[in-house]
Structure 1
Amino acid sequence: MPAQTTHQSGLVLLTDPVGARSAAMGGAMTALRGDQTAVYTNPSSVALLKRKDFVLTHHSTIAGIRQIQSGWAYGTGRVGLGLSVAIHTADGFEARTGPTLNPIGTFNLFEFNAAFTYGQRIARDLYGGFTTRFLHEDVEADRASGFGLDLGLTYRPSESPFAIGASVLNLGKMDRLDLVASSLPREIRFGVTLDQTRYQASADYRLARFGSNGIHVGGEVVPVEILTIRLGYQSGHDTRSMSYGLGLRRKNWRLDYAFVPSSHGFEDAHRITLGIR
């Protein structure tokens, strides 16, 4: 196979929502603010933070597939920065050399993602930001590394509850994996949000390099100070559409949970995020 041939990267960490809040709201995060995980869909959101934020997320789905993500961010409302690390593992994939009944063995998948994010106000009510990330994946005996870049803008008028955002995600490329160079799953996103004290509503449109384009819609309601209820929907995905979630908050601590049911016989996904401010 020619060395210059490219294929779609299998980097799940670049395509799945990060954090229980994002997953519960259908991934509609491009114009949202409020926690460290928002930088995964729009790096400019880090400048809108007005405090520090640490998160730790565990995600489990189909048997043997696990994700762990940890991140820290600090913002002043004008400038902000963030750090994040994520690991994705999956065990027990069957290996075959052809259409045989019995596999010749099994292999594991490992992905690693480390990122730095910076954002600042670049004009009145306009914020910009970028994320640079190091990527690594192991598939059976093959390994590849690479670098990615995300760019984002947010326009949030100070006297308005509305905000709009736009981002370009996953610019870059991986090294060759088994003689094949992997292209990152680049996305262009546009989003709008309505941000009120007791509720938020958000909608995104996603243009995907690989797969289908999609719409993401989500909302959250705070009926009492310690409880948040979330609901989301996304189109353009083969196995999931609706999502649901809850959040509990106590002083500087919060615990978020997301449930994402799957179709076509796949197992449902569960995410739990611990946040400390």
Structure 2
Amino acid sequence: MRHLIKYIVILLAVVTVSNAQNDGAGNTGLAFLKLGITSRSIAMGEAVVGNSFDASATHYNPAALFNGSKVNMVFMHNEQVLGVRTEFLAGKIKFNKLALGFSLNNTSVDNIEVREIPGSSIGEFTAQNFAMGVSLGYKVNENLSVGLTGKFLFEKIYVDNASGVALDLGGLYAKDKFTLGAAITNLGSMSQLRNESTKLPSAIRFGGSYYFDLLGISSRLIVAADGYKVMDGGKFHANTGAELLYKDFLALRVGYQSGYENKSIAAGIGLKYKAFALDYAFVPYKYSLGSSHTITLGTNF
């Protein structure tokens, strides 16, 4: 059984870390907390700490809950390489000085074979990671807002499970067509998984965005750039992205992320009709790993 559990842990580490781009892999766990959320964010290279306009702000920067419509809900389905699947549901509502949000993130890997070493497969199981968050934003003045998210975390690998709590903190400055944001995420701890506690991938993200009105073609262009780093052993990543929005109906997006061994570019498209939005993102991976596909449904009020 000792060899069985060792094999499972090694296999899960390879699968999940490969999909979270190996940031701080030797020092932190819960790699699903580093994966991109929503089609728009992923397609823009996750350069969204200052320009999240929907409930994805609960993941990237709770201070950005004041961006966009008063009420918003999003549902995302993401298919990663190596069978990693994520479902994300979030919502937000903003008032005069306060904004509230919630989020549910479930990431799983199905059909993982259980093997003794050496030996043939003796069964299969599903590895699961789950996060549930509640977010609060406060508008300090016309230009400045701050926010925080409290999260409950859960992971299960074979017959072992662990739980924990984490905190995200964020700030956002917005003036005219310019935004500047920063967030510190995943500050917290986990209970022991078998004999050892998993260290959370605490990270810092900062960046800004600027938009241009292209009146000649009834469009708006947003350009953004972020820096991102997992504090304990992670590489520094420079993320850039752009979004061209035509008549508040059609959005074309492209993004680039530096410092990852298995990916760099992303692209996507979005359609909006009245209160509803449909978005798609595509990320090709190197080394014949395949590609990632993300679909997001949203509604605004």
TM-score normalized by structure 2? Answer: 0.84
User: 2:196 is matched by which residue type in structure 1?
Assistant: V
Q: Distance in 2 between matches of 1:271 and 1:257?
A: 6
- How far the C-alpha of 1:163 sits from its partner, in A, is 1.1
- What corresponds to 2:290 in structure 1? 267
- How far the C-alpha of 1:78 sits from its partner, in A, is 3.7
- How far the C-alpha of 1:96 sits from its partner, in A, is 4.6
- What corresponds to 2:192 in structure 1? 176
User: 2:180 is matched by which residue type in structure 1?
Assistant: I
Q: How does 1:40-79 map to 2 (within 5 A)?
A: 40-76=59-95, 78-79=97-98
- Aligned residues between the structures: 268
- What corresponds to 1:8 in structure 2? 28
Asked if 1:111 corresponds to 2:129, the answer is yes
Q: Distance in 1 between matches of 2:189 and 2:272?
A: 39
Aligned to 1:115, what secondary structure does the other structure show?
Answer: strand
C-alpha contact 1:11 1:137 (8 A) present in aligned 2:
no
- What corresponds to 2:23 in structure 1? none
- How far the C-alpha of 1:101 sits from its partner, in A, is 7.2
Q: How does 1:205-216 map to 2 (within 5 A)?
A: 205-208=227-230, 209-216=232-239
Structure richer in helix, relative to its length:
2
Aligned to 1:222, what secondary structure does the other structure show?
Answer: strand
C-alpha contact 1:242 1:260 (8 A) present in aligned 2:
yes
- What corresponds to 1:155 in structure 2? 173
Q: Which of 253, 269, 277 is 1:246 aligned to?
A: 269
C-alpha contact 1:50 1:76 (8 A) present in aligned 2:
no
1:223-254 deviation digits (Å, cap 9, x = unpaired): 34311000001112231110000000000000
- How far the C-alpha of 1:173 sits from its partner, in A, is 1.2
- What corresponds to 2:5 in structure 1? none
Q: Which of 18, 22, 39 is 2:41 aligned to?
A: 22
User: 1:73 is matched by which residue type in structure 2?
Assistant: K
- What corresponds to 2:299 in structure 1? 276
Q: Distance in 2 between matches of 1:148 and 1:10?
A: 12
Deviates more, 1:207-216 or 1:166-175: 207-216
Counterparts in 2 of 1:223 and 1:176: CA distance versus 1, 3 Å: same
- How far the C-alpha of 1:107 sits from its partner, in A, is 3.1
User: 2:283 is matched by which residue type in structure 1?
Assistant: V
C-alpha contact 1:47 1:78 (8 A) present in aligned 2:
no
Q: Distance in 2 between matches of 1:77 and 1:256?
A: 29
Question: Structure 1 regions of 5+ residues with no counterpart?
Answer: 1-5
Q: Distance in 1 between matches of 2:96 and 2:273?
A: 23
C-alpha contact 2:115 2:121 (8 A) present in aligned 1:
yes
User: 1:140 is matched by which residue type in structure 2?
Assistant: Y
C-alpha contact 2:36 2:42 (8 A) present in aligned 1:
yes
Q: How does 1:160-239 map to 2 (within 5 A)?
A: 160-197=176-213, 198-208=220-230, 209-239=232-262
- What corresponds to 2:152 in structure 1? 134
Q: Distance in 1 between matches of 2:39 and 2:288?
A: 22
C-alpha contact 2:57 2:63 (8 A) present in aligned 1:
no
- How far the C-alpha of 1:38 sits from its partner, in A, is 2.6
Q: Distance in 2 between matches of 1:81 and 1:39?
A: 9
User: 1:201 is matched by which residue type in structure 2?
Assistant: V
1:29-73 deviation digits (Å, cap 9, x = unpaired): 111131111331111001334410011111012253211111110
TM-score normalized by structure 1? Answer: 0.91
Q: Distance in 2 between matches of 1:259 and 1:78?
A: 36
When the two chains are superposed, the root-mean-square deviation of aligned CA atoms in Å is 1.9
Deviates more, 1:209-218 or 1:170-179: 209-218
